[in-house]
Amino acid sequence: MSAYDVVVVGSGPVGTAAARELADRAPDLRILVLEAGQVLGDVPGGHVKNIADPGAALAGLPAGAAPPPGATPARPGTALIGTPDMPNAAISTNVGGMGAHWTAACPRPGDDEVPGFLDPAVLDEALDRAEELLAVTTHAFDGAPLRDAVQQVLGEVFDQPERRPVGPMPVAVAASGDGSLHWTGPAVIAGDLWERGNVTLRAGTRATRIVTEGDRATGVEVVDVATGEREVVESRAVVVAADAFRTPQLLWVSGIRSAALGRYLNDQPQIMTASLLDDRYVTDEAPAKVSVSAASTPGGGAIIPLSGVSWVPYAAGRPFHGQVMQMDASPVKLDPGITVRPGQVVGLGWFCRKEVSAADRVWFDEDTPDEHGMPAIRVDYTLTDADQAAIAAAVEELRTAAKALGRPLGEPFVLPAGSSLHYQGTTRMGPADDGTSVCDPAGRVWGTANVFVGGNNVIPTATACNPTLTAVALAVITARALADLLEVSP
């Protein structure tokens, strides 16, 4: 039987950030990070777009093992949950979680996206730390020759007084001098974490239950995925950061079942379109300023440095935010007669704020075990009239933006529910244990002394911006609170 100070369940951006912040603040803590999946490629938690051969991303699977059901070469380790109300809902079972696959967009939340009960100074400092851990920058695409033209047009359409202006999207992407890109995966967050003597990463190990005595966790029951061997890992505290579906699932099977557990599920409706940039922006000379080659997009990345990534920020009176980027493969089929210069097709993706409702939820069917013997995940999820109105407004905005940039390529289309991968709310935080939240502002689960949760699922507000930066910032707050707790606990 092994013993640790902290067991972290989940090796995604949030689990890794919590472990890193804990280890930095309290180097003597013995920390175990559990991951049910395997390493993709050679680097634990590396982004798959940094792998020159995408097929090599499956190299970490056990010999003879097949990819997870629903996995694709573009996202090895991921699988669809398979639920009618949210048909594109996906989970990622690999070291690094969905952080090995994400688009690396890291906008800060604004206006009413920010939880009003959090101390603004504390949150701002945690967001600063999250940007440091994720290596966020707005300069990765400074040399993109089409970026300024795209942002000028978008600014003319959308900028208004008292709103954050159109600008470069903050991204967790580093650009080298030769134009090649390195995408932040949890490996960047970890740094030398896995080389420290007191921190252990165990891949291929699934957490099946938090062991409790009264209101206190004493350990985690785990199973070795390859051998089926079970054991209990003793721990002074537990942090569960296993995504918006499996985090509440693990709490549920552990008998930690607050009224809000699994409820307030928030998936941002996503609308897409594409536009063929006007020839006045795309000249024969402009694309030539950047070498477009395999070296610029290792692993077949979706962004090449011609127009970069532009951001149309969320505002309280405008219930969506947008990102515009050059695409190496348009989702819209082009007419055979259209000649396209490199970088001329841009994709526009708008994410909508969705009303928060307790009726939108994840729940667990104890009569139907999943392939791991856990209660099967079910989802209840509907769009309200206000949600439909926001989607309709976003469609109109996309039409306007696509036309302003050049030639719209078809009509904007709404992606199936779950496509955003920005699932939130199922273990939401709150200021009081009043039945509408699962954890306190530090991430500690109500009614427990030492069980903490992290992830996008902790975010309690209706948001439109990409949630990873916010979730990592909240994990920083959690890690600091937990370090203080363990310092004074026996």
Which residues form the catalytic set?
Answer: 422
Separation between Cα atoms, residue 202 and residue 8, nearest integer Å: 10
The token pair that represents 1 in the structure block: 């039987």
The token pair that represents 21 in the structure block: 């912040």
Amino acid, res. 400:
T
Long-range contacts at 66-72 (CB < 8 A, ≥ 24 apart): 68/37, 68/93
The token pair that represents 438 in the structure block: 């699962």
Q: Per this entry, what is the length of the chain?
A: 490
Q: What share of the chain is helix, strand, coil (3-state, %, to 5)?
A: 25, 25, 50
- Using left for φ > 0, alpha for ψ between -120 and 50, and beta otherwise, residue 118 falls in beta
* DSSP tag of 122: H
Residue 484 bridge partners (DSSP): none
The token pair that represents 402 in the structure block: 């696509």
Q: Where are the alpha helices (DSSP H) in 311-433?
A: 385-405
Separation between Cα atoms, residue 10 and residue 36, nearest integer Å: 8
DSSP characters over 131-175:
HHHHT-BS-TTTT-TTHHHHHHHHHHHH--TTSPPPEEPPBSEEE
Contact 355, 384 (CB under 8 A): yes
Backbone angles phi, psi at 325, to 5 degrees: -145, 150
Backbone angles phi, psi at 79, to 5 degrees: -155, 150
Q: What is the dihedral of CA 460, 354, 74, 224, to 10 degrees?
A: 40
Contacts of 217 (CB under 8 A, 6+ apart): 210, 211, 235, 237, 238, 448, 449, 450, 451
Backbone angles phi, psi at 220, to 5 degrees: -135, 130
Backbone angles phi, psi at 340, to 5 degrees: -115, 125
Q: What is the dihedral of CA 54, 58, 64, 67, to 10 degrees?
A: -100
Separation between Cα atoms, residue 349 and residue 355, nearest integer Å: 19
Residue 413 bridge partners (DSSP): 272
Element (H, E) at 18: helix 13-25
Separation between Cα atoms, residue 292 and residue 343, nearest integer Å: 9
